[in-house]
Structures are given as structure tokens and as C-alpha cells.
């Protein structure tokens, strides 16, 4: 049996598991997002409480995992506690190769444990291990170390875990996998916390067969060569996505101080170039990736009472983290920004949501909507790193109503305290770092995850700025085509940084060596079908695109392409869903 057809079902309430062959799903939907949304539909009852025992956690990988470079992501699907509808998050590290090496294509986790637990998953199924001894350890890095000590098995291994934010069910808590990789967005960490699930260790040593080794070798070499020769990949290797800070700042598309402006004269100090020169400690890569785009800063700090005695913290950074915990908060001191990144890393919170929530809180405080009694004396003002560091701890511990509101996301906080016009969320998900023009925001609003990764509308804006002419209708068509194709890539769990390498024609050839015969037309049809299924799930759970809230700030602050009109955006949303034809 092709090992990718196996689905491991785990019931935390009954502490039982079984394995099911789902060749039907994997043959048709390939893996990843396609299989994930179907398993979510099968296992998540309509109206399920995202933090209740009915909400399933799905992990799915794809047929190219372990075979080709950059097929390195695991797709997680769940009902999001942040938005109340589709929760989808992708992470790399060693997760996908470990799941496949353990012999599974997908894992479904249901129910709720009665006591803190961690799962040890191998090709023999799941073992339920007591996590009471380290429930309460808030540092996600420490949790990883503890599980590593406890699980002494061999083979390719991944350790997924939550920190304090997941335990306290902060609605944008993340799941950290290995160190520095995350199922970041939409609150998977809170779902873990609601199930008293502290960690999952998955290990395996199965190999993967190919249909024709000589064709496989040739195809592999072609993909590998493209990956290491590509100038774009070199850019990701040299500076990472942080290289985008300077160009977006020059284009006036970098949100700063809660999007009260779209550039800042101090942005250079937190640029990828500056961080690479002054802080870069090392680069790391996901399993089976020659690019190594993950940049880790080395931040040296003196021990309090010792002269010339330092400790060095290793802190990951990329564009979205720099935007959300740097420019969005007016923090242009790189040391301070890195400390904030480290703080959310420790507690296991989505950095983008954390930064956007704090940016709203700063403006709400400055406007008098919240008092110093609410903030527990913290003086929220742009660039006040110390206050933000303490606020992050308060968001996790939730000592009063205000911080509980912040832990629920910016949409919920603004519903309670006001300031919705500058609560920067789309579909209740905190905004990504692009104010390049209408295409970026249409993409955030219609994208199935409300993420910049759904449609990459920001790149359309930049093409238009460079002179490409596009009507509003053509923008909508391009966003839809891009998001549909990304469903194929995320069913194959190919890293989106490699989307330029994996052309449709190359995907067809690679899939053939993995035992799938499908042509380009079939792939495009499948992408659209998966996109429709995701949107049907969202609507089943109450999402209404035609009445989506758009923060007024989007229309007030001039973007790279000028002032954005609400009418343009609303028309585009309507046009997108008409074309999607659910």
C-alpha cells in the first residue's frame, strides 16, 4: 500500500487510535490542503466550538515529500478560534518529512484529554504520555528540550509544541515545530491548549518509493539545479524576506504605527541588510531544502552583575515579524524589535497578530478609549519596547478584562472598547505587512485564510506600479487564478517560495514519478475545486464576504498606488465571489 494513503486517527478523550486507508482522498486530492479540507469537513460538525472537544486538528502532507526539494510543508486544518471559520496554517521544519517517514499522509486528532498529555507518534501508532510535569512551562523552546529528552527514539523526528499562550488559549497562539518554525496563524496553539495537548513528537524511518528511478533522478536534478541557481532563491538565502523592508518603505507600502503611515524614515535600521550585517548569527533550512531562508539573529546581552560577560540569544526574523513587531509599533531600535520577537517566540504567539493587536492598543490608549487602569499602568506609545514586552506577558496571563480582550484578537478588542476604524484585521485575522494598493487588500479580504500568502495581491500592485496595465476585473481574475494554483502547491505542500520553480509542467512530471497521472488542466480544475470547498466551509461557519468589515484606515492612509476607494474594494469582493461560483 502506498504509505501516503494512511490516515492516523487519534481520540484524546478515549486515548485510542486507529489507522484508516484513504487512498480515495489522496488519489484525487493529492495531499496537503486538498486532503486537509476534506478531512476537516468530515470531522468538524457544523457550529463546533473551536475550543471544544468537537474541533478536530488535521495535519496533512503530500506525495512529493521526501522526494523533491522544497516539498517541505505540513498543512494544519482546524476551526479557527480567532475567526470562527477556516483555520489553516502551514509549517516546515522537519514536520512533513517526519510524518511521511512515520508512514502517514495525514493525522486527525479529536476529543480532549482529561489531564495534560503529549503524543508520541511512530509507525506503530500513537502513545499518550503524561505531560502534567511540564504543563505550565511557558517557554516553547524549553518544552521542545523536555520532549527531546523524554523521547529517545531514532529516525527523522519533529516536535510540535505550545508555550504559555497556547495553554491560556490566546486566540492567536501558535504551535512551534522544531525551533523557529511555526503553525503561526489563526490559533492552532489555542486549539492544542483547549485539548490539554502540550506537544506531539512524530518520528519515523520509512523510505519512499519512486516509479522510475532514472526519470526521478533526472527530474530531481533539474529541480535542485533550478533551486540553487535561481537569483530569487539567492535573495531568500542572503537576506531572507527581510530584504523587502527597504523596497516597500521606498514604495510607501510598509505599514508603520498602525498604518497611520506607509513608510518611516527610520525603517533602514530594521532592514534585512542592516540585520544581516550587524546581527546575523546563522541560517537554517527546513528538511530537504537547499535554500536555507531562515535567518537567525545573534543578540548579545550582558549578564546583570558581571563585567564583560555576555549571553547570546538566537532570534529568528523575517519580513512579517519585522513589520508587525517593528514598524507597526514604531520600534526602530533593532535590539528592541528582536527582544519583542523573542518574547512572542517564547510564549508561542503569532507575531503578526501580536504586533497588530498592540498597535491598536497603542492608538486606543492614545485616544483615551482605554485607560492606564486598563493597561495596568503601561504607557503604550510608539517605540516603547519595555511596555510592549510587559504587555505580551499580560496578554498571555490575562490579569484583567482588557488583556483578555487583547488575547481574543484585534477585532474582538475593538468591539469591546471601540476604535474599529483602526483595528487592522481582515475577516478577523490581523493584517499582513502590505499597503501597496487595492490588489493587496482585496487579496487579504477574499483569501481563504485572509493572509498575504493566499493571493499575493501585493505583487500585483508592484507589477502595476512598474507599468503593467490591469483593469479592476483583470486584478480579480489574477487573484483568483493565483489562489487556485496555490491550492495545488499547498496540496503538494511545496514551499511558496519555490512557486516560481515548480511550473505546472514540472509539477506534472514530478507527480508522475510519485505515481500520480494528472495533466495541467486537471491540476487547475483541482485547485479551483479545493478553493471552493474551503470557502464553502467558511460560509457554513458564518463567513459573509459581502458584509465583511474593512477598517477605515485602509482608505485614509495613502498606499503605494495612491488612495484606495472602498467602492473599488467592495466591487472586487463581489466580482471575486461571482467568479468563484460557489
Residues forming contacts to ligand SF4 in the complex (CB under 6 A) are 70, 72, 92, 236, 285-286, 289, 291-294, 495, 497
Strand-by-strand arrangement of the 16-21 sheet: 16-21, 6-11, 106-110, 57-60, 74-79, 86-91
Closest distance to ligand SF4 from the beta carbon of 31 (Å): 16
Q: Which of 240, 210, 255, 215 is nearest to 436 (CA)?
A: 255
Query: How does DSSP assign 33-73, residue by residue?
Result: HHHHHHHHHHHS-TT--TTSTT--EEEE--TTTTTSTT---
Of 90 and 257, CB closest to ligand SF4:
90
Report d(CA 192, CA 198) in Å as an integer: 7
Q: Nearest distance from residue 37's CB to ligand SF4, in Å?
A: 22
Question: Distance from CA of residue 329 to its chain's centroid?
Answer: 20
- Whole-number minimum distance, CB 284 to ligand SF4, in Å? 7
- Alpha carbon distance 443, 475 (integer Å): 10
Q: What is the rounded CA–CA span in Å between residue 232 and residue 500? A: 9
- Shorter beta-carbon distance to ligand SF4: residue 92 or 334: 92
Nearer to ligand SF4, 73 or 444 (CB): 73
Measured distance CA(119)–CA(130) in Å, rounded: 9
**Minimum CB distance to ligand SF4 smaller for 416 or for 499:** 499
Q: Which C-beta is closer to ligand SF4: that of 417 or that of 497?
A: 497
Whole-number minimum distance, CB 345 to ligand SF4, in Å?
A: 16
Report the nearest approach of ligand SF4 to the CB of residue 70 (Å).
5
Label residues 95-112 b or e (16+ Cβ within 10 Å = b).
Answer: bbbbbbbbbbbbbbbbbb
State in angstroms the smallest separation of the CB of 92 from ligand SF4.
Answer: 4
Which of 292, 420 has the CB closer to ligand SF4?
292
Of 186 and 286, the one with the shorter C-beta distance to ligand SF4 is 286
The distance of closest approach from Cβ of residue 60 to ligand SF4 in the complex, given in angstroms and rounded to an integer, is: 17
Three cell numbers written together for 29: 486530492
Rounded to whole angstroms, the Cα distance separating 48 from 431 reads 26
Rounded distance between C-alpha atoms, residue 242 and residue 296, angstroms: 11
Residue 350 phi, psi (nearest 5): -65, 120
CB of 323 to ligand SF4, least distance (A): 17
CB of 19 to ligand SF4, least distance (A): 28
CB of 499 to ligand SF4, least distance (A): 10
Nearer to ligand SF4, 292 or 539 (CB): 292
Judged by DSSP in three states, 143 sits in helix
Q: How far apart are CA 439 and CA 45, in angstroms?
A: 34
CB-wise, 128 or 236, nearer to ligand SF4? Answer: 236
275 Cβ partners below 8 Å, 6+ apart? Answer: 242, 295, 297, 317, 322, 334
Instruction: Give whichever of 9 and 237 is closer to ligand SF4, judged by the CB atom.
Output: 237
Smallest distance, Å, CB 290 to ligand SF4?
8
Q: At its nearest, how many Å lie between ligand SF4 and the CB of residue 359? A: 26
Smallest separation, CB 171 to ligand SF4 (Å): 25
* Cβ count near 420 (within 10 Å): 17
Cβ closer to ligand SF4: 289 or 329?
289
> H or E stretch including 500?
none
- The dihedrals phi and psi of 356, each to the nearest 5 degrees, come to -70, -40
What is the C-alpha to C-alpha distance for residues 312 and 437, in angstroms, rounded to an integer?
A: 40
Whole-angstrom Cα distance, residue 100 to residue 102?
5
Contact predicate 70/495, CB 8 Å: yes
**CA-to-CA distance for 382 and 264, rounded, in angstroms?**
12
Q: Report the candidate in 348, 331, 333, 329 with the shortest Cα–Cα distance to residue 393.
A: 348
H or E element in which residue 8 lies: strand 6-11
Backbone dihedral angles phi then psi of residue 502, each to the nearest 5 degrees: -85, 80
DSSP one-letter string for 332-350:
--HHHHHHHHHHHHHHTB-
Question: What letter does residue 562 receive in the DSSP assignment?
Answer: B
Q: Which is nearer to ligand SF4, 181 or 516 (CB)?
A: 181
d(CA 175, CA 348): 7
Nearer to ligand SF4, 208 or 285 (CB): 285
Judged by beta carbon, residue 236 or residue 317, the one nearer ligand SF4 is 236
Q: How far is the CB of 224 from ligand SF4 (least distance, A)?
A: 13
Amino acid at each position: 500500500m502506498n504509505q501516503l494513503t494512511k490516515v492516523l486517527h487519534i481520540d484524546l478523550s478515549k486515548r485510542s487510535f486507529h489507522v484508516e486507508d484513504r487512498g480515495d482522498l489522496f488519489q484525487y486530492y493529492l495531499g496537503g490542503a486538498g486532503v486537509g479540507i476534506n478531512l476537516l469537513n468530515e470531522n468538524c460538525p457544523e457550529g463546533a466550538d473551536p475550543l471544544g472537544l468537537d474541533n478536530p486538528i488535521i495535519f496533512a502532507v503530500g506525495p512529493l515529500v521526501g522526494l523533491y526539494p522544497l516539498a517541505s510543508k505540513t498543512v494544519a486544518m482546524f476551526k479557527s478560534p480567532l475567526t470562527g471559520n477556516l483555520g489553516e496554517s502551514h509549517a516546515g521544519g522537519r514536520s512533513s518529512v517526519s510524518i511521511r517517514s512515520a508512514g502517514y499522509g495525514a493525522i486527525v486528532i479529536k476529543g480532549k484529554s482529561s489531564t495534560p498529555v503529549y503524543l508520541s507518534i511512530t509507525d506503530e501508532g500513537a502513545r499518550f504520555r503524561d505531560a502534567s510535569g511540564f504543563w505550565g512551562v511557558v517557554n516553547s523552546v524549553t518544552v521542545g528540550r523536555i520532549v527531546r529528552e523524554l523521547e529517545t527514539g531514532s529516525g527523522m523526528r519533529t516536535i510540535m509544541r505550545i508555550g504559555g499562550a497556547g495553554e491560556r488559549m490566546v486566540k492567536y497562539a501558535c504551535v512551534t515545530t522544531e525551533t523557529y518554525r511555526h503553525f503561526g496563524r489563526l490559533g492552532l496553539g489555542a486549539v492544542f491548549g483547549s485539548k490539554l495537548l502540550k506537544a506531539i513528537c512524530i518520528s519515523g524511518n520509512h523510505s519512499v518509493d519512486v516509479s522510475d528511478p532514472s526519470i526521478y533522478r533526472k527530474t530531481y536534478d533539474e529541480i535542485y539545479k533550478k533551486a540553487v541557481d535561481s537569483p530569487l532563491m539567492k535573495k531568500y538565502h542572503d537576506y531572507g524576506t527581510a530584504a523587502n523592508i527597504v523596497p516597500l518603505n521606498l514604495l510607501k507600502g510598509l505599514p508603520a504605527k498602525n498604518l497611520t503611515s506607509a513608510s518611516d524614515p527610520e525603517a533602514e535600521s530594521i532592514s534585512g541588510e542592516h540585520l544581516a550585517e550587524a546581527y546575523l548569527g546563522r541560517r537554517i533550512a527546513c528538511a530537504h531544502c537547499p535554500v536555507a531562508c531562515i535567518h537567525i539573529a545573534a543578540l548579545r546581552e550582558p549578564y546583570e552583575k558581571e563585567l564583560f560577560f555576555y549571553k547570546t540569544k538566537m532570534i529568528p526574523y523575517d519580513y512579517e515579524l519585522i513589520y508587525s513587531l517593528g514598524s507597526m509599533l514604531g520600534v526602530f531600535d533593532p535590539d528592541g524589535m528582536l527582544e519583542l520577537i523573542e518574547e512572542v517566540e517564547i510564549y508561542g504567539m503569532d507575531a503578526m497578530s501580536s504586533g497588530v493587536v498592540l498597535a491598536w492598543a497603542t492608538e486606543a490608549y492614545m485616544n483615551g478609549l482605554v485607560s492606564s487602569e486598563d493597561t495596568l499602568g503601561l504607557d503604550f506609545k510608539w517605540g516603547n519596547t519595555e511596555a510592549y514586552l510587559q504587555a505580551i506577558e499580560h496578554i498571555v496571563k490575562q490579569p484583567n478584562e482588557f488583556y483578555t480582550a487583547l488575547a481574543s484578537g484585534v477585532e474582538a478588542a475593538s468591539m469591546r472598547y471601540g476604535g474599529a476604524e483602526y483595528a487592522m484585521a481582515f475577516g478577523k485575522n490581523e493584517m499582513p505587512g502590505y499597503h501597496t494598493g487595492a490588489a493587496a487588500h482585496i487579496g487579504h479580504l477574499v483569501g481563504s485564510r485572509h493572509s498575504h500568502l493566499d493571493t499575493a495581491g501585493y505583487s500585483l500592485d508592484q507589477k502595476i506600479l512598474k507599468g503593467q496595465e490591469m483593469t479592476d476585473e483583470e486584478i480579480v481574475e489574477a487573484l483568483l487564478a493565483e489562489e487556485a494554483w496555490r491550492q495545488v502547491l499547498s496540496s503538494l505542500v511545496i514551499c511558496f517560495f519555490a512557486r516560481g520553480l515548480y511550473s505546472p509542467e514540472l509539477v506534472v512530471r514530478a507527480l508522475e514519478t510519485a505515481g500520480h497521472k494528472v495533466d495541467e488542466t486537471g491540476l487547475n480544475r483541482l485547485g479551483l475545486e479545493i478553493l471552493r470547498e474551503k470557502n464553502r466551509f467558511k460560509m457554513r461557519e458564518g463567513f459573509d464576504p459581502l458584509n465583511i468589515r474593512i477598517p477605515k484606515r485602509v482608505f485614509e492612509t495613502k498606499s503605494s498606488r495612491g488612495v484606495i476607494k472602498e467602492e473599488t474594494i467592495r466591487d472586487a469582493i463581489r466580482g471575486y465571489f461571482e467568479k468563484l461560483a460557489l
